[in-house]
Amino acid sequence: MIKVGVIGCGYWGPNLIRNLNGLPECELIAIADLDQSRLDHLARLYPATQTTTDHTEITDHPDIDAVIVATPMGTHYELGRQVLEAGKHLFLEKPMATSSDDCRKLIAIADERNLQLMVGHTFLYASPVRKIKELIDSGELGDIYYVNFSRVNLGIFQKDANVVWDLAPHDISMICYLFGDCPVRVSAQGHCYVQRDLGIEDVAFVALEFGDGRLAHIHVSWLDPNKIRRATFVGSRKMLVYDDISASEKIRVFDKGVDVQPHYDTFGEFQLLYRSGDVFIPHLDTTEPLKTEMSHFIDAIEGRDTLLSSGRDGLRVVQVLEKACESIRKDGLPMDLVYDS
Ligand SMILES: NC(=O)c1ccc[n+]([C@@H]2O[C@H](COP(=O)([O-])OP(=O)(O)OC[C@H]3O[C@@H](n4cnc5c(N)ncnc54)[C@H](O)[C@@H]3O)[C@@H](O)[C@H]2O)c1
């Protein structure tokens, strides 16, 4: 039985707590938040769980084996460091930290103490994303040419991070997982329309280039009339649209494409052959991604599994975010990405 503590129960923490609480192999011991009203709310839902406004009561708790940190990103490094230094396994929400140097420090402490360090890249635990991975790996879509992500809605405007740090970790972690590779170059453009005085970009367009020529484009915005969570994958055989907002048809596979006629002698004979066949809607497992995510963390602690979103994966995402923001500051200048070995 793994005994767990949680630091941070604002908007996101309670979702993690609900899924943790349903797992038979773990016990929720204590929850910390600076806001007493949040603790009062959680205490009504989980009367057997201790609550505190002092997170050191979690890090110093003798019975707690593992800690979930779901606080704002600016606090991730310091809270994460304290958890690991107290000898406890750590699940840290995304993005892992606000700099790659801080990520490296956390990885070093976890390695030194042989502790699990997992980052909350939730989409890796979502059944549509796993289905897309299956379809890509099986060759069903052919060679992937490019992917286009849209993650836009109105708000919520953050005060401590721009829209790239807030929203793009999902798409960057997803594309690295799906391609089994990380981008070699990033360029980005972004603008501060609303929080101009604070210099916080609310809209950004991030372009990623992979070593084999594949491209990914990510549009993130807090300034859009529609909530859109969509990714379009264009392959040489088929095309796929992932709409995370759709209740029943999250993935649609289109048997559509363009072929070049194999033989032609003159330019006049050159023809493109357009294919437009059936649309296939795969059946998806309905398990809540956070349940899979929490269960994976416990499995890794108990030695049954290897982390899919480890500290090293979290670091690579932060490296892409850092370079994307550097590119924004340099008017879209392409930035090379070099990862730690
Ligand atoms: N994986 C996902 O899909 C996903 C979705 C939403 C948010 N998140 C991540 O979850 C984290 C929290 O986001 P949120 O939207 O819940 O923020 P939030 O502001 O709603 O909640 C954060 C909570 O942390 C508490 N807190 C801050 N410092 C603390 C400390 N030292 N000790 C105890 N409590 C402390 C605050 O009082 C607050 O209640 C962020 O890293 C965010 O990126 C992840």
Q: What is the pLDDT of residues 198-213, one digit of tens each?
A: 999 999 999 999 999 9
User: Which residues 6+ apart lie within 8 Å of 159 measured at CB?
Assistant: 195, 198, 200
pLDDT, tens digit, for every residue of 69-121? 999 999 999 999 999 999 999 999 999 999 999 999 999 999 999 999 999 99
> What Rg do the C-alpha atoms of the chain give, in angstroms?
22
Q: Which CATH class is domain 124-289+319-336?
A: alpha beta
| Mutation choice for ligand 1 from 7, 71, 121, CB with most ligand atoms inside 8 A | 71
Q: What confidence category does residue 260 fall into, taking pLDDT thresholds of 50, 70 and 90? A: confident
Closest-lying ligand 1 atom to the alpha carbon of residue 93: 41
Contact yes or no for 119/311 (Cβ under 8 A) = yes
Q: Any idea what the Cα angle at residue 316 is, between residues 232 and 216, rounded to 5°?
A: 20
pLDDT exceeds 90 at position 334? yes
How far apart are the CA of 61 and the centre of ligand 1, in A?
21
Going by DSSP bridges, is the β-strand pair 239-243/223-235 parallel, antiparallel, or unpaired?
A: antiparallel
Q: Flag whether pLDDT at 37 surpasses 90.
A: yes
Testing ligand 1's pocket by substitution, the residue of 50, 57, 58, 93 carrying the most ligand atoms inside 8 A of its CB is 93
Classify domain 2-115 by CATH architecture. 3-Layer(aba) Sandwich (3.40)
For ligand 1, atom 43, the nearest C-alpha belongs to: 94
Enumerate the domain spans of the chain.
2-115, 124-289+319-336
Which atom of ligand 1 lies closest to the CA of 120? 1
- Give tens-digit pLDDT for 156-192: 999 999 999 999 999 999 999 999 999 999 999 999 9
Nearest alpha carbon, ligand 1 atom 25: 8
Ligand 1 center to 273 CA (angstroms)? 51
Phi-psi group of 102: left, alpha or beta (phi > 0 → left; psi -120 to 50 → alpha; rest → beta): alpha
Report the residue among 7, 33, 55, 165 best suited for mutation to probe ligand 1: largest number of ligand atoms under 8 A from its CB: 33
Task: Indicate if ligand 1 lies below 6 Å from the C-beta of 54.
Answer: no
Q: Give per-residue burial for 23-34: e unless 16+ CB within 10 Å, then b.
A: beebbbbbbbbe
CA of 122, closest atom in ligand 1: 1
